[in-house]
Structure 1
Amino acid sequence: MPYQDLFQVDVPTHHDRNPALHGVHVFTGEAASSLHALQLARQVYDQAFAALEAGRQIPDAEPGAWAARGLRPGWELDWSAAKVCLWGP
Structure 2
Amino acid sequence: MQRSEIYEVTVPINAPAPARARGLHVFTGRATSADEALIRAHQAYATAVTAANAPAVREPDGWSACGIREGWDLDWPSAKATPWTPPRSSTPTGYRP
TM bucket, shorter chain: 0.7 to 0.9
Q: Is 2:78 aligned against 1:81?
A: yes
Relative to structure 2, which stretch is displaced further, 27-36 or 59-68?
Answer: 59-68
**Structure 2 spans left out of the alignment, 5+ residues:** 87-97
By relative contact order (CA 8 Å, sep 6+), the higher-ranking structure is 1
Separation in structure 2 between the aligned mates of residue 64 and residue 18 of structure 1, nearest angstrom: 38
- The aligned amino acid for 1:79 is W
The structure richer in strand per residue is: 1
TM-score normalised by the chain length of structure 1: 0.84
Displacement of 1:18 in angstroms is 3.3
**Structure 1 spans left out of the alignment, 5+ residues:** none
Separation in structure 2 between the aligned mates of residue 34 and residue 19 of structure 1, nearest angstrom: 32
1:13 counterpart SS class: strand
The structure richer in helix per residue is: 1
TM-score normalised by the chain length of structure 2: 0.77
The 5 Å alignment of 1:1-89 reads: 4-18=4-18, 20-52=20-52, 56-61=53-58, 64-89=61-86
Relative to structure 2, which stretch is displaced further, 57-66 or 38-47?
Answer: 57-66
| RMSD, matched Cα | 1.7
Q: How many residues align?
A: 84
- Choose 1 or 2 for highest CA Rg: 2
Identity %: 39
**Residues 1:58 and 1:81: Cα distance change in structure 2 (over 3 Å):** farther
